Every structure is written in structure tokens, then in C-alpha cells.
């Protein structure tokens, strides 16, 4: 309840600050006897890792995960899986001068108000670095889901002014921005570099698709599948909105257009995004999240210091001019965690 756990049966508890000795996560509820190795985790951590290309931060973390418990002779034992990722390239010196300044668009002010104390180095716990402790358990959830034929895809639907048009899910990992449209990808990269040169940043929209999800997942009336997905995704820093299926554009339609009619061969459309009444229908689950422009920019901005005196700030440090490409594996991780939890929950209530 203090906010560092997520999930009920497949449950994670996360810890760690950006510039502390390490970050980590404890994963509970993973079924026993499942094959799992550290390379399963590393694959996803590498996708999220900084320094992958010219368009991302140059902080050089190798993000090597270690598994400290819960796996024995290559298999899960049903015991909690403790994962630790050491912080290596934590350069706190450049944060020294920002110790008493609140960075606009960041959590600095809010943390100070709430806790009265904060580890200001690199944003402390509010740093994007925290998401490595989401990617790792997400990787475990993915292994579990793969056994049930469930696969999660996420890609840049829009970055800056460029929108994907011809969607091909096989293209996602072929370009630095993780766009499912290879032509759009080029334009997106350009916009990111342009923003970087201007000491500024841009945002985007990520679409996430779950394929192979069985009907029946979700626990109305409050723990609906879409409600829990919304929480999971909005809990990621920089995410400012979410929509399912036709989402905000459903407002442009009449009920007769927006309703998905049904035939003996299945649904005739998917405006619902694969969820009705908070329960999966067996169609693809489709959602989109709005990712705001990165708050850290090298441009000078107005702010106040810890004594509420007016000041100017230029956020140095190593930042991503657009966080969309690196938020994608994190979004996949969060969706995987929700689906895994609902899948296990569903096993409890079925008639035996």
C-alpha cells in the first residue's frame, strides 16, 4: 500500500534510487517449475538500457541483472525472485548545483512537498532509471505469457509531428525509434535529432497490442482489465494519457458505428480494443498512451529554489530528447505484468 508493489498474485515490489548503489525488484507469485535464466531478463533490460543509439542518453549503464533467489537449477521454485541491478555510471557531481533547485516538469517540487527530504541526485527514486526494475519482472511475465501463446507488441505510433501509417509489427525492432512503419521511423529520428540540437525535447504516442489473450481476463467492477492496464501504464513517468480501442475518437461516432457487431466468425470490428465490461473478449487488446516531451532540457527555464526564491535553471546531465523509444519496453513490461496477474487470478475462480 505504500506504493512500491504492483499486482496481486503475480506481484512485484520495487526499490532503488538513480544514484544509490543499486536498484532492484522482488517478484512473487511466479508459478514454480518454469524455466528461467538471467538472459531472459537481460534481453528486455538491454532494450530499455540507455546509450543504445545517437537518439538516446549517453549514460553508460550496462544494466546487468543478477538473480539472487527463487530460481534453482534453472527453474523457478515458487519462492520470491530477487533481482538486483547495480548502478555504475552514476555521475552525481553534475546534480550538485541542482540540489536546491526544482527542475520544471520533474517530480522535485512534489517530492520535497510530500517528504520534506529527497535524494536529489539524478532525481532519486523519481528517475526514469526506476523503470529498469519494471523491465526485469516484465521479462519474467513475458516468459509466463509466452507459454500461453500471449504476445505483447508496442511501437511508436507518433513522435513529434510524424505518425506511423503502414503498420508492420515485424519492423519494430529494426529501427532506433521502435516504429512499426519504417518510413515514418526515419522522419521520427529526424525530429528527435532536431529537438536535441535545439536543446529541447519532444513527445509521442505509443500503441500497445496484446495478441493471443484469451477471453475472460479482468475482474469487474473495479479491477477491470482496462482499469488495471490504465493504472499500470499511467504509473510510468511521462505518460499523460491512455485510451483503449477507438478511445477518444469514439466521440466522433454514433453507437451504431462504435459498437462492434458480432458474427459466428467473431467480432466484425474492434473499437472496444478487445475489452468489454472490463473483461477480455479474445480479440487483440489495443491501447495507446500519450508520452509527454522529456522534462529535462538544456534550455534555460524559470524556477524557484528550495527557499521559494526565483531562479533560472538549465538541466544538464545526459538525457533522452524523446523518451518514446525507451518507454516502449517499459510499457510492454507493465502490460505483461497486468496480463500475467489476471491470467493467474482467472485460474482461481474457474470451476474445477
Interface with its own copies in residues 229-258 (CB under 8 A): 229-235, 237, 240-248, 250-251, 253-258
Q: How far is the CB of 280 from its own copies (least distance, A)?
A: 7
Q: Give the footprint of its own copies on residues 207-226 (CB under 8 A).
A: 215-224, 226
Question: What's the rounded Cα separation, in Å, for the pair 31 and 27?
Answer: 11
Name the grid cell of 18: 538513480
Q: How far is the CB of 206 from its own copies (least distance, A)?
A: 11
H or E element at residue 175: none
Q: Give the footprint of its own copies on residues 47-76 (CB under 8 A).
A: 66, 68-70, 72, 75
Return the ∠ at Cα 246 (arms to 341 and 329), rounded to 5°.
Answer: 45
Q: Which of 36, 84, 208, 328 binds its own copies (CB under 8 A)?
A: 84
Q: How far is the CB of 71 from its own copies (least distance, A)?
A: 9
Residues 6+ apart with CB under 8 A from 197: none
> Which residue's entry shows cell 549503464?
61
Which CB sits closer to its own copies, 166 or 309? 309
Only one of the segments 37-45, 168-176, 181-189, 200-208 lies at the binding site for its own copies (rule: CB under 8 A); that segment is: 200-208
Question: What's the rounded Cα separation, in Å, for the pair 226 and 77?
Answer: 31
Q: How far is the CB of 93 from its own copies (least distance, A)?
A: 16
Q: Which of 89, 169, 259, 316 binds its own copies (CB under 8 A)?
A: 259
Q: How far is the CB of 170 from its own copies (least distance, A)?
A: 25
Q: Which of 303, 326, 328, 330 binds its own copies (CB under 8 A)?
A: 303
Q: How far is the CB of 74 from its own copies (least distance, A)?
A: 10
Q: Give the footprint of its own copies on residues 134-153 (CB under 8 A).
A: none
Preceding omega of 130 cis (within 30 degrees of 0): no
Q: How far is CA 183 from CA 28, 180, 187, 201, in A?
A: 42, 9, 7, 21
CB 65 within 8 Å of CB 333: no
Q: Give the footprint of its own copies on residues 156-175 (CB under 8 A).
A: 158, 160
H or E element at residue 55: none
Residue 176 sits in the site that holds its own copies (CB under 8 A): no
Concatenated DSSP letters for 82-151?
Answer: EEEEE------GGGGGGTTBPPTTSSHHHHHHHHS----GGGGGGSGGGGHHHHHHHHHHHHHHHHTT-E
Cα dihedral 247, 248, 251, 257 in deg (nearest 10)? -30
Which CB sits closer to its own copies, 172 or 217? 217
Q: Give the footprint of its own copies on residues 312-341 (CB under 8 A).
A: none
Which CB sits closer to its own copies, 170 or 244? 244
Neighbouring C-beta atoms of residue 193, cutoff 10 Å? 14
Beta-ladder partners of 204: 159, 291
Count residues contacting its own copies (CB under 8 A)? 149
Helices (H), 12-131: 38-48, 108-115
Q: Give the footprint of its own copies on residues 99-118 (CB under 8 A).
A: 102, 104-107, 109-111, 113-118
Q: Which of 36, 188, 276, 327 binds its own copies (CB under 8 A)?
A: 276
Amino acid at each position: 500500500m505504500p506504493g512500491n508493489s504492483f499486482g496481486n498474485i503475480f506481484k512485484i515490489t520495487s526499490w532503488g534510487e538513480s544514484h544509490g548503489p543499486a536498484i532492484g525488484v522482488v517478484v512473487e507469485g511466479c508459478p514454480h517449475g518454469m524455466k528461467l535464466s538471467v538472459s531472459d531478463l537481460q534481453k528486455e533490460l538491454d532494450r530499455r538500457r540507455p546509450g543504445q543509439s545517437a537518439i538516446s542518453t549517453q549514460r553508460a549503464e550496462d544494466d546487468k541483472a543478477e538473480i539472487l533467489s527463487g530460481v534453482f537449477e534453472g527453474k523457478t521454485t515458487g519462492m520470491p525472485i530477487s533481482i538486483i541491478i547495480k548502478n555504475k555510471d552514476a555521475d552525481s557531481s553534475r546534480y550538485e548545483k541542482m540540489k536546491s533547485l526544482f527542475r520544471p516538469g520533474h517530480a522535485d517540487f512534489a517530492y520535497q512537498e510530500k517528504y520534506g527530504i529527497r535524494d536529489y541526485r539524478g532525481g532519486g527514486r523519481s528517475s526514469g532509471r526506476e523503470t529498469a526494475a519494471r523491465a526485469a519482472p516484465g521479462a519474467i511475465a513475458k516468459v509466463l505469457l509466452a507459454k500461453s501463446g500471449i504476445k505483447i507488441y508496442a511501437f511508436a505510433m507518433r513522435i513529434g509531428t510524424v505518425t506511423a501509417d503502414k503498420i508492420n509489427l515485424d519492423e519494430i525492432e529494426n529501427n532506433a525509434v521502435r516504429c512499426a512503419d519504417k518510413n515514418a521511423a526515419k522522419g521520427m529520428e529526424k525530429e528527435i535529432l532536431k529537438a536535441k540540437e535545439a536543446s529541447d525535447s519532444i513527445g509521442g504516442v505509443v500503441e500497445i497490442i496484446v495478441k493471443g489473450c484469451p477471453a475472460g481476463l479482468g475482474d469487474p467492477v473495479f479491477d477491470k482489465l482496462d482499469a488495471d492496464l490504465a493504472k499500470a501504464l499511467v504509473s510510468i513517468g511521462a505518460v499523460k494519457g491512455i485510451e483503449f480501442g477507438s478511445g477518444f475518437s469514439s466521440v466522433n461516432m454514433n453507437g451504431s458505428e462504435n459498437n462492434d457487431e458480432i458474427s459466428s466468425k467473431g467480432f466484425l470490428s474492434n473499437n472496444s480494443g478487445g475489452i468489454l465490461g472490463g473483461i477480455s473478449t479474445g480479440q487483440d487488446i489495443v491501447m495507446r498512451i500519450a508520452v509527454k516531451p522529456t522534462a529535462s532540457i538544456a534550455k534555460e527555464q524559470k524556477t524557484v529554489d528550495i527557499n521559494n526564491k526565483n531562479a533560472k535553471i538549465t538541466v544538464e546531465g545526459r538525457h533522452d530528447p524523446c523518451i518514446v523509444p525507451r518507454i516502449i519496453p517499459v510499457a510492454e513490461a507493465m502490460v505483461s505484468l497486468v496480463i500475467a496477474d489476471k491470467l493467474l487470478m482467472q485460474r482461481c475462480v474457474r470451476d474445477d
